[in-house]
Amino acid sequence: MWKYSTTMAWALLLLLCPARLHAQDTDTWAALDAWVGKIKREMGDRSGIAIAVVKDGRIVHQAYLGYADISQGKQVDADTRFYIASATKPFTALMTLIRAERGEWRDDMSMAGMFPDLNFNGFDASTVTMRDLLTHTSGLENTPLVWALAYSGIHDAASRYQLVQMTQPLPDQERTGFRYGNVGYNLVSVWMEQRFQSTWQRQLEQLVLRPVGLRHTTARVSDARRGRHLVANPYSVLSELTVQPLYLEKSDATMHAAGGLMSTAPDLARFLIVQLEDGRIDGQQLVPAGVIRKSHVPVAKTDGKPYQQFDRQGYAWGWYTGDYKGQQMLHHFGGFAGFHAHLSFMPDAGIGLVVLSNEEYMSPKLTGLVADYVYGALLGEDEVGARMDLGGEQLMAEMRALAPKIAARRQAMSERAWQLSLPLQTYMGRYTHPLLGEMNVQKDDDSRPLITWGALKSVATAYERPDSVRVEFVPNSGNVVEFDVQGSDVVALRFEGMVFTKH
């Protein structure tokens, strides 16, 4: 049987057109689309992927493959909304810079100035600035706020403000320099809501989404689901049933300023054009040029560790910065259970790339190969097809080795001995926290311990520490719940440092 090869496709292209390929050469993109489709078929991955390529101020290629909803046979298209997770950060940072340009705040405003009525313990709030929060150099953490906003969904304006006071310094060895996370953006969003008496979602719509013309981008899941357009379901090749959506789906309550947008590939490509054209598109100045330029200037120095093949030397306002193929590249990616998003662009070359996927484990690796091909082709590199074929073979080898590893891991976890010191029934009950709501521990239909917390749920499995269990609130990612046992009673549980009291 004849096997399609990207290398063969490129050889044919060179015979037909010996001059250097241009962005508008449709055969270049036909080779890419055929290869992506072939790899996904061979992996047995029916999830979707949306690709948009930008060059010289316009979208030069779009591709839509796979399914937004596998069971219903609904294919991904240009209107399919994907959750983009942390790729939200460039939007939130841009919103804050627009307000700064209007004189509504300064980037050296301190946390003490932001929250003058709150008393913080363990650090001097007057030394932590808004700039520090938005560039991951604050040296702070706030696990309760992060979990409430992104996962449990149990919060309101009052509790969010109170949770701000639970901000703590990182351990000494992690306090200085760059440490990526959601906390800074979450803290800034709480301040913005208080300061401007409007939700961060509403402010983002007014300051960024509408002015830039992103008509299919929203910070509310309820808006994304209105009408006839598809919202991509989350899938994972790590699941026992890879065609079944993951249980954990985003809701309005779990969309947050560090990871809270749903968008389409064309909308995100438009956003990249605005980045590449100094705030202009279609001949109109939609965002002040100075704001766009400032957002691209590195503020923090990272630890220099790359993500896959993507260099990360600095962090600007919502963008990583580094070298890629001899060009400056700005990028931000997003990952969450069942989703991966890639936004990147080269200012000097005028090239940008959007890749959205509703699968979170193999998709980042596949996206890396797509990026190598797209940027390589547009920069005139040789052997991009051969590299893609080789990368595909390596990806397939990893996929073939994955199933036995998953099976062995599940078997090992199932063989763990329970370390509970009391009868299982003693742990059942309602556990509450004054700001974080309640966790419920009960038996499911198979008499297994089931723990729920807002939008989260997990059947608990045995863990190696005394009076502890393992949960997967986030699919394919484990956490530990520890029970506080006093005599013959269970009085509380601890999760990621948060204490819930039993009632």
Is there a contact between 96 and 130 (Cβ–Cβ < 8 Å)?
yes
When pLDDT is averaged across residues 40-58 and rounded to a whole number, the result is 95
- The per-residue pLDDT for 227 is 80
When pLDDT is averaged across residues 26-55 and rounded to a whole number, the result is 94
- The per-residue pLDDT for 26 is 75
Q: Sorting pLDDT into bands at 50, 70 and 90, what band is 74?
A: very high
Assess whether pLDDT exceeds 80 at residue 13: no
pLDDT single digits (tens) 326-356: 999 999 999 999 999 999 999 999 999 999 9
- The per-residue pLDDT for 176 is 72
Assess whether pLDDT exceeds 90 at residue 12: no
pLDDT single digits (tens) 366-407: 999 999 999 999 999 999 999 999 999 999 999 999 989 999
Q: What is the CATH number of domain 94-196?
A: 1.20.58.710
Q: Where are the domains of the chain?
A: 6-86+216-402, 94-196, 424-502
Ramachandran area for residue 380 (φ above 0: left; ψ -120 to 50: alpha; else beta): left
120-125 — which CB contacts under 8 Å span 24+ positions?
Answer: 120/165, 120/167, 121/168, 122/168, 122/169, 123/167, 123/168, 123/169
The CA-based dihedral angle spanning residues 125, 127, 128, 130, taken in that order and rounded to the nearest 10 degrees = 110
pLDDT > 70: what percent of the chain?
94
Assess whether pLDDT exceeds 80 at residue 22: no
What separation in angstroms does the CA of 90 have from each of 272, 305, 312?
Answer: 11, 20, 16
In degrees, to the nearest 5, what angle opens at C-alpha 182 toward C-alphas 176 and 184?
60
CB atoms within 10 A of CB 157: 11
- The per-residue pLDDT for 237 is 93
pLDDT > 90: what percent of the chain?
90
Q: List residues bridging with 51 in a β-sheet.
A: 63, 355
Q: Return mean pLDDT, the chain.
A: 93
Local structure of 144: helix, strand or coil: helix
- The per-residue pLDDT for 229 is 84
Q: Sorting pLDDT into bands at 50, 70 and 90, what band is 228?
A: confident
* Domain 6-86+216-402 CATH class label: alpha beta
- The per-residue pLDDT for 175 is 64
Q: List residues bridging with 110 in a β-sheet.
A: 129
Q: Sorting pLDDT into bands at 50, 70 and 90, what band is 412?
A: very high
User: b/e per residue, 453-480, with b = 16+ CB within 10 A?
Assistant: bbbbbbebbebeeebbbbbbbbbeeeee
- What is the value of pTM for the model shown? 0.93
When pLDDT is averaged across residues 416-430 and rounded to a whole number, the result is 97
Assess whether pLDDT exceeds 70 at residue 21: no
How long is the chain?
A: 503
CB atoms within 10 A of CB 12: 12
When pLDDT is averaged across residues 66-95 and rounded to a whole number, the result is 97
